[in-house]
Amino acid sequence: MSVFAVSKEVLMTVIQELGKTHELHGPRVDRASGQVFFERAGAAEDIALEAELPSMPPKELFFPQVDRLLKYRYDSAARSVELTRLGQERPKALIGLRPCDLAAIQCLDRFFLGQEYVDEVYRTHRRKSFIVTYTCNEPARQCFCVCFHTGPAAEEGFDLNVTRLASGYLLEAGSEQGRALAVGLGLRPATEEQRMEKERVVERSIALFPEKATGNKAWASRVMNRVTTGFVKPEVWEEIGKKCFECGGCSYVCPTCSCFNVEDACGAEGECERLRTWDSCSLESYTRMAGDHNPRKLVEDRRNKRFFCKLSYSQSKKYLRPGCVGCGRCVWVCPGDIGLPSVVEQVKS
């Protein structure tokens, strides 16, 4: 891997250079609420690299909450129809992506671009993107990436990875386009000492995680075995189900959740758009069929499904890794206190 050492100013130059060919997206701290959003940035300086994990994952960029797939108008007099594909390629640079969110994008890539069919809609959004990850110097309270081996430093899948050192930054190129950019700008190769310093940054970061997360290597895998084989008592799902408010929040904030609904929205003039919108398996309507038949009517069955998706090896086959990346957002958002770690604990006990 080509590794470079840069000052803050040079790092800004790298981002500015990317901004010439890509839309820039990165973390922004909202002054009023203190919340962090991963958003379109006007300029390199607007990106708050060191801000904590954004409250919403960046999946929106490749899997928009509301995506317009196609439009048509049915001419009922001529009885003809013209369909037009919507959605266009926009090169995007994601700056300051945290390692867990990168792992989640890899899950989405494997899910949408692998399998039997390629999802062209996702591919169009994803194509021509450039990913700059940022090593987490310290975990936030809800983080448990170490349990799922996604952080606190990204190991692969980025174009460039940035690590803050005592002075300046270490820049690792993880792809040919990342290397080309760095070489093109004539960046200075890092010294052995600077590379070693990054290792120490990562070690220190890992040491800051609570013992619970780092002490027991089998924390998640033991539960994954049980969830995969169905070796979980129905009472446990019932308990978990009782706590769910059926708000769907967990799915919306989860960087790997990608279920969607499709509907045709039509205006008064008969012009219609086919929309793909985020959906959640926690909602009763998710599996409901005509005649009010619902094979997954009970909330515990629906919760069971979510955690099967996140914690079973069957689902992992599609992502080539577990479906949870340990970002902890569902812990933040869930009003019922059944974020993923607490479910792992309940299944265990």
Partner 1 sequence: MKAEAKITIVDFPEVVNIDEIRDEAPEVKTFYLSFLDPRLEAGFRIRSGQFIMCTVFGAGEFAVSLPPSPERDRLHITVRAVGKVTHALHRLRPGDKLGVRGPFGNGFPFEEIKGKNVIYVAGGIGLIPLRSSIIHVLQHREAFGRIILLYGARTSRDLLYREDIREWQKTPGFETFVAIDRAESGWDGEVGYVNTLIGKANVPVENTAAFVCGPPVMFNGVIAELLKRGMSEDDIVSTLERNMKCGYGKCQHCAIGRTLVCTDGPVYTYRQIKTLGEGI
Per CB under 6 A, which of residues 66..105 are in contact with ligand SF4? Answer: none
One residue of 1, 43, 83, 183 binding partner 1 per CB under 8 A: 83
Q: How far apart are the first and last CA of the chain?
A: 43
Least distance in Å: CB of 242 to ligand SF4? 10
Least distance in Å: CB of 336 to ligand SF4? 4
Per CB under 6 A, which of residues 248..277 are in contact with ligand SF4? Answer: 248-250, 253-256
286 touches which of ligand FAD, ligand SF4, partner 1, none (CB within 5 to 8 A by kind)? Answer: partner 1
Least distance in Å: CB of 262 to partner 1? 4
Residue 290 interacting with ligand FAD (CB under 6 A): yes
Per CB under 6 A, which of residues 305..334 are in contact with ligand SF4? Answer: 310, 324-330, 333-334
Contact track, partner 1, 305-334, x by CB under 8 A? x--x---x-xx-------------------
Least distance in Å: CB of 289 to ligand FAD? 3
Least distance in Å: CB of 74 to partner 1? 4
Name the site residues for partner 1 (rule: CB under 8 A).
Answer: 69-70, 72, 74, 76, 79-81, 83, 85, 111-112, 115-117, 119-121, 230, 258-264, 266, 270, 272, 274, 279, 281, 286-291, 295-296, 301, 305, 308, 312, 314-315
Residues of the shown chain interacting with ligand SF4 in the complex, contacts defined by CB under 6 A: 244-250, 253-256, 282, 310, 324-330, 333-336, 338, 340
Can you give the binding site for ligand FAD, defined by CB under 6 A?
Answer: 289-290
